[in-house]
Amino acid sequence: MTSMSAITIRNLPDETRRALKVQAAQNGRSTEAEIRLILQAAVKPPVGLGSALQAIGRELGGVTLDLTRDCNVPEPAQFE
């Protein structure tokens, strides 16, 4: 079972609180859920280049690559 913690943030400027509330409403979430997502994103490890490129490809609908196998056998390396 996962333990959930509560955090109190003191001295949060009213402007910041209002901005969070607006952002949450725009995203269809509660202010608490929005703050939770912001905090989770802030501490999540950075995405590697491969994962970032994969995400971009997914957003664009993917790509089709013509991967024809080269059946030519290369000459072995000569070490003389």
The pLDDT profile of the chain, 80 residues, written as one tens digit per residue, is 677 889 999 999 999 999 999 999 999 999 999 999 999 999 987 878 988 888 888 898 887 888 888 889 999 999 98
Give domain 14-59's CATH superfamily: Met repressor-like (1.10.1220.10)
pLDDT at 32: 95
In this structure, what token pair is assigned to residue 2?
């996962």
For residue 33, give both structure tokens.
């859920």
pTM of the model: 0.54
Q: What region does 61 belong to: left with phi over 0, alpha with psi -120 to 50, or beta?
A: left
Q: Where are the domains of the chain?
A: 14-59
Q: Where are the alpha helices (DSSP H) in 1-80?
A: 14-26, 31-43, 49-59
- What confidence tens digit (pLDDT) does each residue in 3-19 have? 788 999 999 999 999 99
CA angle (63, 65, 70) in 5-degree steps: 165
